[in-house]
Amino acid sequence: MDSSGIFLLKTAIRFLKSNQWKKRLPTPEQNDIISDMDLTPVLISVKIAIPAMALSGIFGTALGYVFHRYSFRGKTLLEQLFMLPLVIPPIVIGFYLVMVLGRRGLPSLLGLPNLVFTIPGGIIAVTIVCLPLMIRSAKATFEMMPREYVEISYTLGKSRIHTFLHVTLPICGPGILAGLMLSLARAMGEFGASLMILGNIPGYTTSMPIAIWTHFTAGREADAFNLVIILTLISVAMMLVAEAVSRWSLERFER
């Protein structure tokens, strides 16, 4: 584990050992926090994050390979276009998606149902936000792979598709997996775009970040704190897994 991971763990331990956060929680007489905890936002976040991670993994890996392997006119512009979600505020992305996926957008033109305030709409929003992370991770992994392996496969008469599936992907798999873990952590914590496209329909579209915001603004800090702890643990776990996989992948390339 690198110094940043150790720093995060030490910070979390110091926070949990302190008594400041305990003062924000109700006493046992006021509320049984654990037994009354509503896990619906957790399940909703998982229903959105897993498909979003899968979609960003598929498209991000493919685009990362294209941007690494091929040169064509407009490549730089196209790559920067896919990177825009990294610099545009998520709530702005959510606003654009409401315009595109709402009743007056593509659904009305194509005869499709409205995707605003739905789980599928949330999956699309989170996928768009996570896609740049996956593209960057995949591209960096492909750039680290020695070119000789691909050339040897071509020399043996293997096609590009066969080489990609049986040579490139197995070698770059750990790096791609690390990107997937980061995408999953990002998907679980997405707030701005999710709030715009999902709304806040309790029990249906209220994800963990939205539920945290709702509980906190309503003065239910204990309920918000429960979800904060869960989301923090998930994010730290995904970060540590991604870091471990990345280090292992780097060691494989250096051997």
pLDDT classification of 34: cutoffs 50, 70, 90:
very low
Nearest Cα residue to 212 out of 226, 198, 202, 192 = 226
The span from the CA of 69 to the CA of 67, in Å, is 6
State pLDDT tens for residues 150-163: 888 888 888 888 88
For 142, residues 6+ apart whose C-beta sits below 8 A from its C-beta are 64, 65, 68, 69, 168, 172
Region 90-96: mean pLDDT is 92
The span from the CA of 46 to the CA of 33, in Å, is 22
The span from the CA of 241 to the CA of 172, in Å, is 16
Residues above pLDDT 70, as percent of the chain: 82
What is the pLDDT at residue 18?
Answer: 59
Token digits of residue 114? 């409205």
- Report, at the CATH architecture level, how domain 38-254 is classified: Orthogonal Bundle (1.10)
The span from the CA of 123 to the CA of 197, in Å, is 10
Region 229-241: mean pLDDT is 87
What distance, in Å, lies between the first and last C-alpha atoms of the chain?
20
The span from the CA of 158 to the CA of 178, in Å, is 28
Overall pTM surpassing 0.95 (yes/no): no
Domain residue spans of the chain: 38-254
Cβ neighbours around 255 below 10 Å, total:
4
Nearest Cα residue to 138 out of 180, 167, 166 = 180
pLDDT greater at residue 59 or residue 164: 59
Contact 195, 181 (CB under 8 A): no
Cβ neighbours around 75 below 10 Å, total:
12
